[in-house]
Chain A
Amino acid sequence: MELRIALAGNPNCGKTTMFNKLTGSSQRVGNWPGVTIDRKSGKIKGTDAELIDLPGIYSLSPYSPEEIVSRNYLIDERPDAVINIVDATNLERNLFLTLQILDTGIPTVVALNMMDTVEKLGDKIDVKKLSEGLGCPVVPVSALKGDGVDDLVKTAVDVAGNGKAPVPVKFDHRIEDVISHTENAIRGNVPNELIRWYAVKILENDECVLGQHPEVRSSVSGPISELEEEYDDDSDAVIADARYGTIAQIVSSSVTKAKRDEKGSLSDRIDRVVTHRILGLPIFICIIGAMFLAIIGYGDITGIGTYFTDMLNGYIGDELMPAAEQWCADNGVSDVLTGLLVNGIIGGVGAVIGFLPQMLVLFVALCILEDVGYMARVAFVMDRIFRYFGLSGKSFIPVLVGTGCGIPGIMASRTIESERDRRITAMTVTFIPCGAKLPVIAMIAGALFGGNGMVALFSYLLGIVCVLISGIILKKLKSLSGTPAPFIMELPPYHMPSWINVLKGTIDRGWAFVKKAGTIILLSCVILWFLMSFNTSFEFIGTDATTDSILQVIGEAICFVFQPLGWGDDWQLTVGTITGLIAKENIVGTFGVLYGIEAGENGEGLEAVLAAALTPAAGLGFLAFNLICAPCFAAIGAMHRELGTWKATGIAVLYQCLLAYGVGMIIYAVGSIIAGTEIHIGSIIAAFVILAILVYLLVAKDPFRQLGDREAAA
């Protein structure tokens, strides 16, 4: 039977680098059951053993999803061995997890990583003494350079093969007395090899274990309260103190520290500047500004990402599509199939794939900032602002990325540890106007406001306001409630990026996007193409004809929904909004087709028809609706990946559409009153009702749960 070896360790200890080194290209990525955490596994090179990468954790306590996933795997599936990666420059905290792993009795090898840095500092670690202290083999390695990896693999396969349990590290005898008392009380109720683990967890007041064995706590409450009295602390704190105390002993007997430089390490000196009390924020703005300038560009400067995206879009539109059309014509393919292939599939999916180069460049930049250790500092600097709205500083990165494109923005939310903040961020990132929404903004500004730049400023402000008020509203939802996540976060030392990690991180995220484009986005494009190219008798009326198509019938049927927003009887506005789901800039193109005008990229030529169809207030409302409502299919796909289920994704899209409708209505009503333009009294009343509801959702303590309780009572 093949061996299963788990890879465990703290975040930032070099675990990802080690996993890549050990498994090479044989990796498989799945999901841990019930949570949206990647479950990576792969064959260890040169062996039959399977390596399972556990999430990076600091402890086996039962709180975060990462911790629960890890301990469930160790306890319920019991791998043959554990490789525990330990950052040798930060031994004390890293060994806190090690001691808990050793309690499970699973054969364990400690991989002492970053030994090269330790040597550079002039410190000495006596590996033999450390191994004696921990009661398990210790192998010095460098995950980055690959030193010691062969030795590690050999040792891990050895201990997995002979199955010899490690000697658990003992605390002082007073605590050990209570542990053995507890062991006796649970003997027979838990697997024998896990008895110490369970006993220690009971002393730690572990909610999961006590939930499984509620009878135990009362039977050992006597000895535990004696212990608590003696140490003048709760038993969980006693165990934590004892564990750190034992670690301090082991470390002091095996590590000789050199004298430190007075000025501090290079990392300290960098940190003193970039998170400086006064300079911190300006430096942050400069770094992000430089990043966006390099990727997207500004004015006459074309960013790297934009350059490649324009190139790819040009290739798809000017060469691939005509070539495919020609090929179809040469081979006698029917008009319907040609339309489906060229305009439906290549055109639709191409519009989405065109963003790929820009995203890849953005991913590279983000991966570097993350790997270097700067992202943690960004969260540190920005936390104060975002906490005010119920989010943490870490939500700032996705919002920022979202100004370029919502999809990588949504994906960037993955770096947020708190599940609640992560979900709220993923649901709201697309409120920020992305690159594809700029033509729509330009069109409305040009047609109704004489090209006033304030319209663009208004759009960005509106997006930010929507993100922030959504932070307040959504955290009141039952599924997203809970105590606000603490912000207890390690600030890892700065170090040079590992290019393998950057490359792998970029490819992983890019590939996830391509897969989405090949499945859900492809399907959506085909359906929309069908609706645009067929009439209600299911006769083909020419590719993207749109006029007289099923889509027009749908648009006419549902355009009454938007009449209160001042869109009048113009079904074209409704249809444009629908085609915007492929990519938001489609709205402009669709208007061109529907109004029969050859429109420019930013809607030049559409001014007259739009001015006739919409008052300025209604136009601003139309713009607001399209900025905030359901994003493009690609972004919905990315949201689904982060939220985990279609139900949650559906709720998110519904929330976005409702908010968009409400905000559109309010802007239309308020704008009409200010400008003194015509508006139905019903819209004004509705707008104020919506405004009242919004204020209630913002101010009320518990608006959703009350609603739920009332339903339950009925």
Chain B
Amino acid sequence: MKTLKDVECGKTAKVVKLHGEGAVRRHIMDMGITKGCEIYVRKVAPLGDPIEITVRGYELSLRKAEAEMVEVE
């Protein structure tokens, strides 16, 4: 399974499914990461984590642990 964590910096990926559960999963959906939407990985923080992505036209940061819940194509 390929996840958002595996997407290289500067690449775009399409969301297939959300894994995980409860508040974190819900929060990810609320922030606009849903099935079929495109995510552009902008950059990685100086110490390697978290990452910054562009989703639905705005900038969002999330940790790699959370990016792992997002399955992508």
- A residues sitting closer than 8 Å to B (CB atoms) are 58-59, 61, 63-64, 90, 92-93, 96, 233, 236-237, 240-241, 244, 271, 275-278, 280-281, 376, 380-381, 383-385, 387, 483, 486-493
Residues of A close to B31: CB separation below 8 A = 58, 93, 488, 490
Chain A nearest CB, measured from B30 CB (Å): 4
A277 to B56, CA, bound (A): 24
Mask: chain B, 42-73; 1 = CB below 8 Å from A; 0 = not = 01111111101000111111110010000000
Smallest Cβ-Cβ distance to A278: which chain B residue = B46
* With known contacts A63-B26, A233-B17, A92–B63 Cβ distance under 8 A: no
Given contacts A61-B26, A376-B61, A488-B27, 16 further A-B contacts (CB under 8 A): A92-B32, A233-B35, A240-B30, A244-B34, A380-B45, A380-B50, A380-B61, A383-B50, A384-B49, A387-B49, A483-B24, A486-B23, A486-B62, A486-B66, A488-B62, A493-B59
Chain A nearest CB, measured from B37 CB (Å): 7
Q: By the criterion CB–CB under 8 Å, are B29 and A240 in contact?
A: yes
Within 8 Å by CB of B61, from A61, A90, A489, A493, lies A489
Residues of B close to A275: CB separation below 8 A = 43, 45-46, 52
Q: Is B41 an interface residue, CB under 8 A from the partner?
A: no
Q: By the criterion CB–CB under 8 Å, are A486 and B24 in contact?
A: yes
A233 to B17, CA, bound (A): 8
Q: By the criterion CB–CB under 8 Å, are A276 and B62 in contact?
A: no
Residues of B close to A387: CB separation below 8 A = 49, 63
A96 to B30, CA, bound (A): 7
Residues of B close to A58: CB separation below 8 A = 27, 30-31
B side interface size, CB within 8 A:
34
Chain A nearest CB, measured from B15 CB (Å): 10
Q: By the criterion CB–CB under 8 Å, are A280 and B46 in contact?
A: yes
Q: By the criterion CB–CB under 8 Å, are A93 and B45 in contact?
A: no
A58 to B62, CA, bound (A): 16
The B contact surface, by secondary structure, is mixed
Q: By the criterion CB–CB under 8 Å, are B27 and A280 in contact?
A: no
Q: What number of A-B contacts does a CB cutoff of 8 Å give?
A: 118
Residues of A close to B59: CB separation below 8 A = 271, 490-493
Can you list the 10 inter-chain pairs with the closest CB atoms, starting with the nearest? A384-B47, A59-B30, A280-B46, A491-B59, A240-B29, A63-B23, A92-B56, A488-B62, A486-B24, A241-B34
Smallest Cβ-Cβ distance to B35: which chain A residue = A241
A107 to B48, CA, bound (A): 46
Smallest Cβ-Cβ distance to B23: which chain A residue = A63
A276 to B45, CA, bound (A): 8
Q: By the criterion CB–CB under 8 Å, are B26 and A277 in contact?
A: no
A513 to B59, CA, bound (A): 35
Q: Is B28 an interface residue, CB under 8 A from the partner?
A: yes
Residues of A close to B35: CB separation below 8 A = 233, 237, 241
Residues of B close to A492: CB separation below 8 A = 59
Residues of A close to B46: CB separation below 8 A = 275-278, 280-281, 381
A526 to B36, CA, bound (A): 66
Q: List 17 A-B contacts (CB under 8 A).
A: A63-B23, A64-B23, A90-B58, A93-B56, A96-B30, A237-B18, A237-B29, A241-B36, A244-B34, A280-B46, A376-B61, A380-B61, A381-B47, A383-B47, A387-B63, A487-B62, A491-B61
Residues of B close to A280: CB separation below 8 A = 45-46
Chain B nearest CB, measured from A23 CB (Å): 28
Q: By the criterion CB–CB under 8 Å, are B57 and A90 in contact?
A: yes
Q: By the criterion CB–CB under 8 Å, are B27 and A486 in contact?
A: yes
Smallest Cβ-Cβ distance to B30: which chain A residue = A59
Mask: chain B, 1-29; 1 = CB below 8 Å from A; 0 = not = 00000000000000001100011101111
A280 to B45, CA, bound (A): 8
Residues of B close to A385: CB separation below 8 A = 47
Residues of A close to B30: CB separation below 8 A = 58-59, 61, 96, 240
Chain B nearest CB, measured from A603 CB (Å): 40
Residues of B close to A276: CB separation below 8 A = 46
Residues of A close to B37: CB separation below 8 A = 244
A538 to B69, CA, bound (A): 68
Q: By the criterion CB–CB under 8 Å, are B32 and A96 in contact?
A: yes
Within 8 Å by CB of A490, from B17, B29, B48, B60, lies B60
Q: By the criterion CB–CB under 8 Å, are B32 and A244 in contact?
A: yes
Chain B nearest CB, measured from A128 CB (Å): 22
Smallest Cβ-Cβ distance to B47: which chain A residue = A384
A92 to B32, CA, bound (A): 8
Q: By the criterion CB–CB under 8 Å, are B45 and A483 in contact?
A: no
A137 to B36, CA, bound (A): 30
Residues of B close to A381: CB separation below 8 A = 45-47
Most buried by A among B22, B27, B28: B27
A376 to B61, CA, bound (A): 9
A124 to B62, CA, bound (A): 31
Chain A nearest CB, measured from B55 CB (Å): 8
Q: By the criterion CB–CB under 8 Å, are B43 and A383 in contact?
A: no
Smallest Cβ-Cβ distance to B36: which chain A residue = A241
A487 to B50, CA, bound (A): 8
A275 to B46, CA, bound (A): 7
Within 8 Å by CB of A63, from B17, B18, B27, B60, lies B27
A572 to B26, CA, bound (A): 58
A452 to B13, CA, bound (A): 57
* With known contacts A275-B52, A488-B62, A491-B60, A237–B34 Cβ distance under 8 A: yes
Residues of A close to B27: CB separation below 8 A = 58-59, 61, 63, 486, 488
Most buried by A among B18, B24, B29: B29
Smallest Cβ-Cβ distance to B48: which chain A residue = A384
A483 to B37, CA, bound (A): 27
Residues of A close to B17: CB separation below 8 A = 233, 237
Q: By the criterion CB–CB under 8 Å, are B26 and A490 in contact?
A: no
A278 to B56, CA, bound (A): 28
Residues of B close to A64: CB separation below 8 A = 23
A240 to B36, CA, bound (A): 12
Residues of B close to A488: CB separation below 8 A = 24, 27-28, 31, 60-62, 66
Chain B nearest CB, measured from A582 CB (Å): 41
A36 to B24, CA, bound (A): 22
Residues of A close to B56: CB separation below 8 A = 90, 92-93, 244
Chain A nearest CB, measured from B73 CB (Å): 15
A63 to B24, CA, bound (A): 9
Within 8 Å by CB of B23, from A233, A384, A483, lies A483
Residues of A close to B44: CB separation below 8 A = 277
A411 to B34, CA, bound (A): 36
A359 to B5, CA, bound (A): 42
